[in-house]
Amino acid sequence: MPNMDDLILEPQGELTLQRPALSDATNMFGDVYGGWVTSQMVLAAEMRAAQIARGRIATVSVGTMQFMSPVLVGTVLSFYTRVVDQGHSSARLLVEAWGRCPNGSDLRKVTETEVVLVAIDQAGHIRRLPRDE
């Protein structure tokens, strides 16, 4: 059985979005605002779900999040997505946010959440997801 200290955390899923955390996304303490990180996570989930749906999608829910460390200005955030479940019209994705320090070192997991999205048509009605045959 592996020792927990020997395990190395690595991103899980497909790299879907990368963005630098800039100074316009900071809170009153100079750290990157958690709401900005959350919005980028939802954007990554929407990008991946739109590929799956081959078209328009809508976010249904965003799960809880716990931040493991503050995000400093200049941190390059990478958002990884993984399909957890897929139904007839919706998909549930796990989104992980990983940050690399401004000096290029110290890759660390910042947070994760699950996002549920649904495929919709041009009128905004729920539609079936396409199936690969």
Q: Is 132 part of a structural domain of the chain? A: no
Q: 77: exposed, middle or buried (C-beta count within 10 Å: 0-12, 13-18, 19+)?
A: buried
Note the pTM of the prediction, 2 decimals.
Answer: 0.89
Distance CA(77)–CA(63), nearest Å, equals 19
What CATH number does the domain containing 99 carry? Answer: 3.10.129.10
Examine the pLDDT at 6 and tell me if it is beyond 60: no
Q: Is 5 part of a structural domain of the chain? A: no
Distance CA(59)–CA(40), nearest Å, equals 13
Percent of the chain residues past pLDDT 70, beyond the cut: 92
Closest CA to 33 of 1, 71, 84, 90: 71
Q: Is 129 part of a structural domain of the chain? A: no
Say what the pLDDT of residue 64 is.
96
pLDDT tens column, 14-70: 999 999 999 999 999 888 999 999 999 999 999 999 999 999 999 999 999 999 988
Q: Is 128 part of a structural domain of the chain? A: no
Average pLDDT, the chain: 92
Q: Which amino acid is at 4?
A: M
Residue numbers of the domain that contains 62: 11-119
Q: Is 2 part of a structural domain of the chain? A: no
- How many domains does one find in the chain? 1
